[in-house]
Amino acid sequence: MTFAVVLIGWIFSLCLHEFGHAIVAYYGGDTTVKDKGYLTFNPLKYTHPLYSIVLPVVFLLMGGIGLPGGAVYIETWRLKNRTWQSLVSLAGPVANLIVLIVLGIVLKFVPWENYDANNSIWPGIAFLALLQASALVLNLIPLPPFDGYGILEPFLKDGTRDWMNSMRTWIMLIVFLALWNIPMVNNLFWTQVYIISSRLGVPWELAWDGFDRFRFWLL
């Protein structure tokens, strides 16, 4: 049950994340997103074999990090100005924050403390909320290819932007390697996830119970 709750919920939040990018781009001037089918909640419209399937699943299995893996291609030159470009990038993390807030409210007002460990959706709901918090923190890293960099990119000097974009793949690899191999970086990341999720009503122990149950083949 936990596996199903998390998988279905994560697909929904992925669609909402990418829909957020698309709807802001639409009002910002890139109306082609409608023709591309991005203003829907059809997961197939946001699918990239590597980024939408392989990497998110690997990250979930390795460490419970929510990696939004959709693919929405925005024609940024159509956007009205640099502020709209920045808002398009910001919209994805905001979508994760909205899902996190909603799940936190649900967890705060339901009697999950007495849940049936073998037949309950609440560990899955809590873990799904934790994934939203981790996706939020990860995506706000101000380095490419994350949305945090996309928020700043329109305001960077051309030379700086060109250099950063040329290093996108290497920077992404360095960030992920640091998250797994440098304790200080890992602790900083999960501390931020803990602070955000806890303040928004996510029970930490229940969330990690959900993580364990999500990987049911290891129990």
Give the per-residue pLDDT at 69: 67
pLDDT at site 117: 62
The pLDDT score that the predictor gives to residue 15 is: 86
φ/ψ region of 37 (left if φ > 0, alpha if ψ in -120 to 50, else beta) reads: left
Give the integer Cα–Cα distance in Å for 200 and 165: 34
Q: At what angle do helices 168-181 and 158-166 cross, to 10 degrees?
A: 60
Residues of the chain whose pLDDT is less than 50?
none
The reply to whether 75 belongs to the active site is no
The total of structural domains in the chain comes to: 1
Instruction: Give the rounded distance of the alpha carbon of 69 from its chain centre.
Output: 8
Whole-number Å distance between alpha carbons of 138 and 90: 13
Domain span holding position 86: 2-218
Contact 75, 30 (CB under 8 A): yes
- Whole-angstrom CA distances from 118 to 35, 68, 74 are 45, 29, 44
